[in-house]
Structures are given as structure tokens and as C-alpha cells.
Amino acid sequence: MDKIKFGPQGLIPAVVQAPGGEVRMVGYMSAEALALTLETGWVTFWSRSRNQLWVKGETSGNRLRFLDAFLDCDGDTLLVLAEPQGPTCHRGTPSCFDGLAPVAWLGHLQDTLKQRKAGAGPDGSYTQKLFHRGPERIGKKVVEEAGEVAIAAMALRFEPTPARREDFINEAADLLFHLQVLLVDQGLGLEDLAAALKARHK
């Protein structure tokens, strides 16, 4: 807390990022809002329009479960890592920012998969059936898709055409999708894999 440089109004901008990398929103925190965030585990801001503390999603239920926070190099901006409990924007969209970078979109997909596991979405969807059948069936799909990726890679090597490249991309996307399903089934996410890879990096 001693390193944080609050502005003239006693506020610091806080950028909220989901575990998958998607930027969800930007708000302002006072020292009290940050303390409450750390104490309660729910991201809390200072509303400049209402001039009061504001727990994000307190009314709608679309709260932000606090995971971690990082201070920028100048000490005047916070990056808040939080797990969204639903859409973050008042428009009902996941993010207050339109458009997602392709990699950040994987975080949105992960949120959707969590909803499917919880039973939300179309009844009898392919993803719901996978979750219902459990890790054995999901694991078999991961192995199957990995084999198809390897075959597509060999085909691309010997015939480097746009069509072969597209086939490889599609097979790799299928593999990544089913791996994400397996991760969510086990209560994990891409951020856990990223953390493991980061820990290995020297």
C-alpha cells in the first residue's frame, strides 16, 4: 500500500483483467475500496458519479472475484486480476471494450465452457454432453484430436499449400477446444498452464 500513488482525489485507476487475459473494465479505487477488495475478495471501486463505495455487480450479481493485483512501474495504476461471475459491462457484454484480441478470446471461450458445465446454454449441446460423459470421454477426444493435428502437420510439411495450412489450423483449433474442455472439467484453466510454463522458463 505504501508504494501506491493515489491521485489528487485519493483515487487510482484500476484495470480489471480476467484470468484468460481479456480486459473487462476500468474503474477507480480509493484506499478504502482497495482494502475492502482485499478483505472481502470482491472487487470494490469508488464511484465518482455517486461519490461512494461500489462493489461491482452488487445489484446485478455479476461480481468480480478478486484474485490478485499488480502495481505498474510508476505506482499510479493497478492491474486487478479477477474472475468474472457473469458479464462485466452494463450492456450485458463480457467486456466494456468492444472487440477481443484472438488470444484474449480464449478467456471468453473458457467462461462459456464453465457456463456449459454448470448447465447453462442449449440443452443437449455437444459441450454439455462432453461434460456429462466425464474426463474419460473428454480425454479420448483430446488424444483423437492430437493425432489429427500430427497428421495434418505432416501433410502440410509435404504439401505446403493454403488448403493444407487451413486444415492444420482447424485441427489444432479442435485440439485446443477439447483441451480447454478437459481443463474446465478438472476445475482448471489456461491461466494454470501459463503459470506452469512461466515457472519453468529460465
Per-residue pLDDT of 126-183, as tens digits, reads 999 999 999 999 999 999 999 999 999 999 999 999 999 999 999 999 999 999 999 9
Domain residues for the domain of 28 are 12-84
Q: What is the pLDDT of residues 85-130, one digit of tens each?
A: 888 888 888 888 876 666 777 888 888 899 899 887 777 889 999 9
In a shared domain, residues 49 and 134: no
pLDDT of 102: 67
* Counted domains in the chain: 2
| Whether 80 and 106 share a structural domain | no
Q: Mark which of 31, 54, 84 sits at the end of a domain.
A: 84
Q: Of 84, 113, 133, which residue constitutes the final position of a domain?
A: 84
Q: Are residues 108 and 39 in the same domain?
A: no
* 69 and 112 housed in the same domain: no
* Top-confidence range, 12-16, 81-85, 191-195: 12-16
123 lies in the same domain as 49? no
Asked whether residue 16 is domain-assigned, the answer is yes
Shortest CA distance to 184 belongs to which of 100, 87, 86, 118?
Answer: 118
Residues 64 and 150 in one domain: no
43-102 pLDDT, tens digit per residue, is 999 999 899 999 999 888 899 999 999 999 999 999 999 998 888 888 888 888 876 666
Same domain, 113 and 193: yes
Assess whether pLDDT exceeds 90 at residue 22.
no
pLDDT at 20 over 80: no
pLDDT of residue 123: 76
Q: Report yes or no on 189 lying in a domain.
A: yes
Residue 19's pLDDT band (cuts 50, 70, 90): confident
Residue 151: predicted pLDDT: 97
Residue 44: the pLDDT is 96
Percent of the chain with pLDDT over 90: 66
Task: Decide which of 14 and 202 is more confident.
Answer: 14
The answer for residues whose C-beta is within 8 angstroms of residue 11's C-beta and 6 or more apart is: 28, 29, 30, 46, 48
Q: For residue 26, what is the domain's CATH number?
A: 3.10.20.810
In-domain check, residue 54: yes
* pLDDT value of residue 87: 86
Q: Where are the beta strands (DSSP E) in the chain?
A: 12-17, 23-29, 44-47, 52-55, 64-71, 78-84
Do 59 and 107 lie in a common domain?
A: no
Name the packing angle between helices 190-200 and 162-185 (round to 10°): 100
Residues 6+ positions from 195 with CB-CB distance below 8 Å: none
